[in-house]
Amino acid sequence: MLKEITENVRKKTPLVHNITNYVTVNDVANVLLACGGSPIMSDEPDDVVDITSICGGLNINIGTLNKQSIEAMFAAGKRANELGHKVLLDPVGAGASALRTKTAVDLMEQVRFDVIRGNISEIKTLATGAGTTKGVDADVADAVTDANLDRSVAFAKSFAKASGCVVAITGAIDLVADAERCFVIRNGRPEMGRITGTGCQLSGLMTAFLVANPDRILEAAAAAVCTMGLAGEIGYANLQPNEGNSSYRNRIIDAIYNMDGDMLERGAKYEIR
């Protein structure tokens, strides 16, 4: 299944419109190109309706949001909905500021999302209004662990049911759930947290996977998480002496560029609950 999903991305070259933060945007573009997609960025309200119309999917990431880009998120989201495009929300820093929380909540009310992808603190904020956050990183106290896995899986399914979206919660253990099923994924490396934007990159990548696999969005979202995590493992193995987080960033994107369906099938570590 994963093999076919990832090969669909390379076959179809999905064009993804990204409204995303200026911190990690270059890596988001390169990871989309690495996986076989095609990125376009636009966050001007007067530009986004046209741009999203020629794309197959929309990735809304609220990091470094501003008044203009927020207006653009709503305009693009509504247009993408009208056209039946795949739409993903990455609620970066929800819980860290009132504006970010409000923007994410309002977006969920006014735009129909296929997937919401964030860390556990951001997702808890959206689900319960009670998440805490350490800036743009998850609070350790919230982390999904083997000790709380049953409860965490139930939470993910429950929020997926309530929101009507596939919910992807990423961390040391990743959960990708709809109301019925939850992929519990154990790919990745802790050192990925020392690179800025691996979450943002995953959101871009995942949107391309959704566009190329429109009838299997749960599986496509899970495949994207496995791809990113496996690339983190391969990139880590490829590190040369004296390299650190900046080179690691390159090696992860390189690993996605060089990954094929068979590698993903072999390397993915998941169970379905």
Say if residue 165 is exposed, middle or buried (CB neighbours under 10 Å; 0-12, 13-18, 19+).
buried
Is residue 196 near its own copies by the rule CB under 8 A? yes
Rounded to 10°, the helix 217-237/198-212 angle is 140
Q: Which is nearer to its own copies, 143 or 149 (CB)?
A: 143
Interface positions, 9-28, toward its own copies (CB under 8 A) = 15, 21-27
243 binds its own copies (CB under 8 A): yes
Q: Does residue 272 interact with its own copies by CB under 8 A?
A: no
76 lies in the site for its own copies, by CB under 8 A: no
What does the radius of gyration of the chain's CA atoms come to, in whole angstroms? 17
Number of residues that bind its own copies (CB under 8 A): 64
Q: Taking the complex as a whole, how short is the minimal distance between the CB of residue 83 and its own copies, in angstroms?
A: 15
HEC secondary structure over 51-98: HHHCCCEEEEECCCCCHHHHHHHHHHHHHHHHCCCEEEEECCCECCEH
**Nearest residue to 90 via CA among 100, 81, 99:** 100
* Least distance (Å) between residue 35 CB and its own copies: 10
Closest contact distance (angstroms) between CB of 233 and its own copies is: 13
Burial class, 2, CB count within 10 angstroms (exposed 0-12 / middle 13-18 / buried 19+): buried
Binding site for its own copies (CB under 8 A): 15, 21-27, 29-30, 33-34, 38-44, 46-47, 50-51, 54-55, 63-68, 93, 96-100, 133-137, 194-197, 234, 238, 242-247, 249-258
